[in-house]
Amino acid sequence: MDIIGNILYDTIYHSAPIILCVIGGIFAYKANVLNIALEGMMLIGAFVSTLTAFMTQNIALGVLLAVLAALAFGVVFSLMGVTFKGNVIIIGLAINLLASAIAKFVLVRMNTSNITLSFMNVADLKLHIPVVENIPLVGSILSDHPLITYISFLGIFFMWVLMYKTRFGIYVRVVGENEDAAKSIGLKTDFYKYAAILIGAVCCGLAGANLSTERLGLFTNDMTAGRGFIAIAAIYCGQGSPTLSAIYAVVFGLARALSVNLSIYAGPAAGLFDVIPYVIMVCVLTVVSVLKHKNNKVRGFKNE
């Protein structure tokens, strides 16, 4: 039971940053903007949060500046992709490379390979939920996570409400589904695209802070390890639904948890288990694409 409990706990642990990127990236997806820069926004958030906490010994300030740094990247992405109509894929990849380059440059100037927050103990950031923590098995899985982890799961509900129960969410979806129609009724389409991208940037900043400062108390370059792209895959598989996309994010979190826990018992072959999340991602994408193709063919036959 110990290994099952560890896997389930780690599933929540590893799902949180992916979920944050997913619920943020969904707005850009609904606004018909492919935000490839999720990875770079999360990485710069992780870097700035840890660097700020290291220099000031203030974790809250680190999280705040992480969000602001991700927002700055979001503004650049929006400006280049929405205002100047650039290729969002190229712009997103450039931002991803820029985030990694900035972090590497600063680390070299600091003459270190990583930033460690030795003044703090990450265990002190974990929240103990009364009553829940005393429930056998369930308590050990749901309790003792940092604040942003809980925010990520609560964010699924709030993003669903914002997307489907508010005028703003409706307008974002209208802009994404038919931009010309949105313009014809007087909507400022660029404004809603900017807003959608910047919401994603805020979530990515929080994801980066959760990944580095809250969970590990350290930063190493490229520690996001493709989580931004995994979030894009989850959004694609969930077809932009906050709930369904979040479920796929949890599936990928489970894959990460399996790779970590199984590698403990693998000895010299432990490194092989690092590929599990990516293999599962490819398999899930393949299955979803096949099912989507079959559904489209069925609809085509019905229309005929």
Q: What is the pLDDT of residue 1?
A: 47
Write down the pTM of the prediction: 0.90
Per-residue burial over 71-94, b = 16 or more CB atoms within 10 Å of its CB, e = otherwise: bebbebbbebbbeeeeebeebbeb
- Per-residue pLDDT tens, the chain, 304 aa: give them: 477 888 888 899 899 999 999 988 998 999 999 899 999 999 999 999 999 999 999 999 999 999 999 999 999 999 999 999 999 999 999 999 999 999 999 999 999 989 999 888 888 888 888 877 788 778 888 888 999 999 999 999 999 999 999 999 999 999 999 999 899 988 999 999 999 999 999 999 999 999 999 988 999 998 998 899 999 989 988 888 888 999 999 998 988 888 888 777 766 655 666 777 778 778 887 887 787 777 766 565 555 5
**Each residue of 113-145: pLDDT tens digit?**
899 998 888 888 888 888 777 887 788 888 889
CA distances from 80 to 73, 178, 219 (A): 11, 21, 29
**Each residue of 61-70: pLDDT tens digit?**
999 999 999 9
Task: Pick the closest to residue 215 from 18, 41, 5 (CA basis).
Answer: 18
Give all strands (DSSP E) within 104-262, no chain letters: 114-116, 126-127, 145-146, 218-220
**Each residue of 23-40: pLDDT tens digit?**
889 989 999 998 999 999
**Each residue of 280-302: pLDDT tens digit?**
778 887 887 787 777 766 565 55
